[in-house]
């Protein structure tokens, strides 16, 4: 079920906004940036006594935020690990492109 947020959280659950704010406050791991790969943060815990929630939030270059929810911490960890690998590959490709331009 989604809720009618306006703006950057449009169509997202309230938990997505909470997880996003928590990630920005340094309460979880984060990676990337909005301008290139996209920004991602993970959250695992209760929100206002409800949960637990296991969420990866992302923000794109247009400022829109979305959340992907997982049933367990293990599923969250596996998804985060895959995202870290994808980000590492992205960074390596960016470095290679910069090296080619400088050559």
Which segments in the chain show pLDDT lower than 50? 1-2
Q: Is residue 33 part of a domain?
A: yes
Rounded Cα distance between 4 and 101, Å, is 45
Q: Do 52 and 41 form a contact (C-beta atoms < 8 A)?
A: no
Per-residue confidence (pLDDT) for residue 1, from 0 to 100: 47
Q: What are phi and psi of 48, to 5 degrees?
A: 50, 45
Residue 1 lies in a domain: no
50 in any annotated domain: yes
End-to-end alpha carbon distance in the chain: 52
Tell me if 2 is assigned to some domain: no
Residue 44 lies in a domain: yes
In a domain, 38, yes or no: yes
Under DSSP, is residue 17 helix (H, G, I), strand (E, B) or coil? Answer: helix
Is residue 95 included in any domain, yes or no? yes
Does residue 60 fall inside a structural domain?
yes
pLDDT of residue 83: 96
CA distance 58 to 14: 14
Position 22 scores a pLDDT of 86
Question: Domain total for the chain?
Answer: 1
């Amino acid at each position: 079920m989604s809720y009618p947020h306006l703006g950057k959280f449009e169509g997202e659950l309230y938990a997505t906004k909470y997880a996003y704010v928590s990630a920005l406050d340094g309460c979880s791991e984060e990676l990337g940036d909005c301008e290139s790969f996209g920004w991602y943060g993970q959250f695992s815990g209760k929100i206002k006594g409800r949960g637990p929630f296991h969420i990866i939030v992302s923000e794109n270059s247009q400022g829109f935020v979305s959340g992907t929810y997982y049933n367990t911490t293990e599923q969250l960890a596996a998804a985060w690990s895959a995202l870290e690998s994808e980000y590492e590959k992205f960074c390596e490709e960016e470095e290679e492109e910069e090296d080619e331009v400088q050559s």
